[in-house]
């Protein structure tokens, strides 16, 4: 049997219906530290198929389950989301028309029309869930990422353009808004209350087949995919695992109980081929509700930080450290200075077992519990030290070490105007790319010492060649979970003097 260490994670956008599929795959391969979730994880095709097992069959009455109520109450709340982009034109500078090459421009039988402006075309297809009667819709971030225009198709065939209210790549959640009223929103359920083995329904638009309902059971809770596959983490990992049939196009759709209550947003699948193979993953509704509430109220997600480095308590760690009072929990390997945990007296070697009375058995449950809180919230943490039980009260902080709410960063906060360098300027400075700072006003650039005329070459080791490049890096830094949100900028002045600047983005 091949080792699971050879599992390959391949990103496939759920919305990848059409020519963009290979683009999305290449995007992930070239950027392995992020995962565009409606993903599939390639399983080992050579696993042994065990056969010859003996089964003892017991006759029994089948379980009668009626899914019609849940389906009827959900299909009108699930929408189809189409994303549109403008294809990039090919470079025409050195293009030679073969007709003119052989016959000359004067010998055309019919003058060719001027090339038309490139038109937007559909780049992806996914699902979304209406969560309010006035048009708020939740979906996956990867369904709408990079789109220039979003079109929402309701179950009654009405179509609306959607506005992005906010996104959270860490949970792969996005909040949209359409100008509509009197809609039929889904009702949120408590994802903490669902049990393994409970019936659930997945509602979405697989392969473009709108209003599709499939059924399955909850296979696992608080699932961490990276832990199981020894791969790169995909952000906030605490998924509901289900065997309901989920395929590309289901991303952003609803996972509901038999009562029609939303308990998850379908996000990823585990498969050999990229299509349904019995393993699908959804972001729990309690996390979704917290994320969209933060986006609406603060403009960005508020994340509470305990301030520890941790790992699952394994039998090897327990044996090595002489831990006998518990077999499950989070082993604290390091406590960060000036953190909430440090202030509360947590030390390395402690084993956290409960948060506010909820059991913490592994990384997935730890992440799920912490995802519920904001800076300033007080929690009760139960832990084991020297095989004795303790409990302490902790006031959580943000990534900057205080209890203030994080403000949404805006690109204009940099306080500058940026222009793409002309070919003449590049030749003069002997550089191949760069972005010129053409105006400076009060803002983060001025505070860092950047002056007018400065040419930015790289930001955080990433080359830049347009203001769009700078903005994308700025947004990525702002949306990261790092406590050090800094733009490390290298560049050159027109005199040829090189300069380096650190631009902190946190207030």
Q: Which of the residues 83, 142, 145, 399 is marked catalytic?
A: 142
Residue 344's H or E segment, with its range, is helix 340-344
Whole-angstrom distance, CA of residue 169 vs CA of residue 463: 22
Q: Which of the residues 127, 170, 251, 382 is marked catalytic?
A: 251
Whole-angstrom distance, CA of residue 330 vs CA of residue 383: 9
379 three-state secondary structure: strand
Supply φ then ψ for residue 422, to 5 degrees. -75, 160
Known catalytic residue: 465?
A: no
Q: Which residues are paired to 330 by β-bridges?
A: 312, 352
Q: Taking the alpha carbons of 345, 346, 347, 351 in that order, is the dihedral positive or negative?
A: positive
Known catalytic residue: 56?
A: no
Cα 166 to the center of its chain, rounded Å: 12
Q: Which residues are paired to 486 by β-bridges?
A: 504
Q: Where are the alpha helices (DSSP H) in 105-215?
A: 141-144
Q: Which of the residues 172, 243, 362, 469 is marked catalytic?
A: 172
Closest CA to 132 of 175, 178, 185, 182: 185
Cα 21 to the center of its chain, rounded Å: 18
Whole-angstrom distance, CA of residue 198 vs CA of residue 219: 8
Which residues fall within 8 angstroms of residue 432, CB to CB, at 6 or more apart?
Answer: 426
Whole-angstrom distance, CA of residue 454 vs CA of residue 495: 10
Whole-angstrom distance, CA of residue 125 vs CA of residue 122: 8
Burial class of residue 341 (count of CB atoms within 10 Å of its CB; 0-12, 13-18, 19+): buried
Q: Taking the alpha carbons of 475, 478, 479, 483 in that order, is the dihedral positive or negative?
A: positive
Supply φ then ψ for residue 181, to 5 degrees. -140, 165
C-beta separation of 141 from 168 below 8 A: yes
C-beta separation of 38 from 268 below 8 A: yes
Q: Which residues are paired to 382 by β-bridges?
A: 354, 391
Whole-angstrom distance, CA of residue 151 vs CA of residue 441: 37
Known catalytic residue: 327?
A: no
For the chain, what is the radius of gyration of the CA atoms? 26
123 three-state secondary structure: strand
- Angle, alpha carbons 270-304-237 (nearest 5°): 5
What tokens were used for 485? Answer: 């949100």
What tokens were used for 387? Answer: 């095989």
The beta strands (E) that lie in 131-260 are given as 136-140, 149-153, 159-168, 173-177, 187-188, 199-204, 212-223, 239-242, 254-257
93 three-state secondary structure: coil
List residues with catalytic annotation: 142, 172, 251
């Amino acid at each position: 049997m091949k080792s699971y260490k050879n599992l390959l994670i391949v990103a496939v956008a759920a919305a990848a219906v059409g020519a963009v599929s290979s683009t999305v795959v290449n995007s992930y391969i070239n950027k392995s530290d992020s995962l565009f979730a409606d993903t599939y994880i390639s399983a080992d095709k050579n696993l042994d198929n065990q056969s010859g097992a003996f089964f003892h069959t017991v006759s029994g009455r089948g379980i009668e389950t009626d899914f019609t109520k849940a389906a009827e109450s959900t299909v009108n709340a699930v929408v189809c989301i189409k994303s549109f982009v403008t294809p990039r034109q090919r470079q025409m500078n050195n293009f030679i028309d073969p007709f003119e090459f052989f016959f000359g421009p004067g010998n055309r039988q019919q003058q060719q029309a001027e090339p038309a402006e490139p038109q937007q075309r559909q780049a992806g297809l996914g699902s979304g869930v209406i969560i309010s009667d006035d048009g708020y819709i939740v979906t996956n971030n990867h369904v709408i990422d990079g789109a220039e225009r979003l079109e929402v198709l309701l179950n009654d065939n009405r179509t609306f353009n959607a506005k992005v209210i906010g996104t959270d790549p860490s949970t792969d959640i996005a909040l949209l808004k359409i100008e509509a009223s009197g809609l039929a929103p889904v009702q949120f359920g408590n994802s903490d209350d669902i049990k393994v083995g409970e019936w659930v329904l997945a509602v979405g638009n697989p392969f473009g087949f709108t209003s599709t309902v499939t059924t399955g059971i909850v296979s696992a809770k608080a699932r961490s995919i990276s832990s199981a596959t020894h791969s790169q983490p995909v952000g906030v990992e605490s998924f509901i695992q289900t065997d309901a049939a989920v395929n590309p196009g289901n991303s952003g759709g609803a996972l509901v109980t038999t009562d029609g209550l939303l308990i998850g947003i379908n996000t990823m699948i585990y498969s050999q081929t990229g299509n349904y193979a019995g393993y699908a993953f959804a972001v729990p509704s309690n996390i979704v509700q917290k994320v969209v509430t933060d986006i609406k109220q603060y403009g960005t997600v508020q994340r509470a930080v305990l301030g520890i480095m941790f790992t699952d308590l394994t039998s090897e760690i327990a044996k090595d450290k002489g831990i006998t009072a518990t077999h499950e929990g989070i082993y604290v390997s390091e406590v960060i200075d000036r953190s909430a945990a440090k202030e509360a007296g947590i030390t390395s070697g402690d084993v956290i077992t409960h948060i506010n009375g909820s059991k913490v058995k592994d990384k997935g449950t730890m992440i799920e519990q912490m995802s519920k809180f904001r800076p300033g919230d007080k929690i009760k943490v139960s832990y084991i030290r020297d095989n004795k039980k303790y409990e302490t009260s902790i006031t959580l902080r943000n990534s900057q070490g205080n209890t203030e709410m994080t403000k949404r960063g805006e690109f204009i906060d940099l306080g500058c105007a940026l222009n793409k360098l002309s070919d003449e300027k590049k030749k003069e400075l002997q550089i191949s790319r760069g972005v010129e700072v053409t105006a400076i006003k009060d803002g983060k650039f001025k505070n860092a010492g950047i002056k007018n005329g400065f040419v930015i070459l790289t930001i955080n080791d990433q080359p830049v060649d347009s203001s769009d490049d700078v903005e994308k890096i700025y947004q990525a830094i702002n949306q990261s979970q790092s406590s050090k949100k800094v733009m490390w900028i290298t560049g050159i002045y027109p005199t040829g003097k090189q300069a380096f600047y650190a631009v902190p983005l946190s207030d």
